[in-house]
Structure 1
Amino acid sequence: MTRVESGTPYGWGRLHAAFQVLEVLAVGRTGLGTPAGLRRTTNTPRNHFVELLRGAGLLLLVTREKGGDHARAVEAVFGDIVRLTGPQRMYDKSLDERQIAEFRRGHADQVAEYRKAWESLVP
C-alpha cells in the first residue's frame, strides 16, 4: 500500500474505494467513483460507512466462494478495509470542499492500486 492517513478524508476515500471494490468483486457492479456515490459518503461519512460495514460480511462470503483470483483479491481488499478503518471516530457531518478533494484523491489512489493488481477483475 502507498500512503495511508487514518482518520483523514484521504484515508476515508481509500476506505470507500475498498468497499466499492469489494462489491465489484462480489457482484460485478461497476461505476467506481461516480459523483453520486462519492457525494453520499462525503455528506455523512460515518453513517455511510456503518451501512457499508453491515453488508461487508456477505460480500466477503460471496466473493470467497468464487475462489481463484476473486478469493485472493477479496482477501487483500478485506484486509485493507480493516487497516483503513481507524480507531478514531469518523465525521458525522458533511465534509467541506477541501476535505472532499482529499477524499476523492484517496479514492482514486486506492482504485488505481486495485486496478493495477487485478486489472481483469476491477474495471
Structure 2
Amino acid sequence: MSTPYPPPAPWAPAPAVARRPTRTADVVVTSLLIAAHVTVFGAAAFFSLFYAMASDPCGSGTVCDTGKIGQAFFLTDAVGLVVMLAASTAAVLLMLRRRIAFWVPLVGIAAQVGLVALSFGLLGQVVP
C-alpha cells in the first residue's frame, strides 16, 4: 500500500505551527491597567508617608502601640510593591503567551486597595 502523496523533501520548510491570534484590545487594556496599578501603588506609597501622624495623640500619659505604624508601613509599601511587581509580571507573561490578561492588574489593584484598608485598620489600633 502506498500513499498518494510523496514524502516531503528534507529541505522543505516545516509546517507552520498554528498560534493564537494577538488580541490587540486585551494588550492595550492590560497595559493601561498595569499603568493604573503603578499609579495606585505610587499614591498609596505617598500617602503612607502620613502614617506617622497616627502617633500624634501619643505622649502626655497616653500609651500607644507605635509598632502598628511600622506594620502599616510594611503592608502598604513592601507588600504593595511585591503585589504590583507580581501582577505586572504575570500580566506580561500572559500577554506573551497570547492569553487574556486584563484581569490580572484588576486583581492586583483590588489587592492594593485591600492592603491600604488593612493598614488603616492597623493605624486605628495605635491609640487605644
TM-score relative to the length of structure 2: 0.33
TM-score relative to the length of structure 1: 0.34
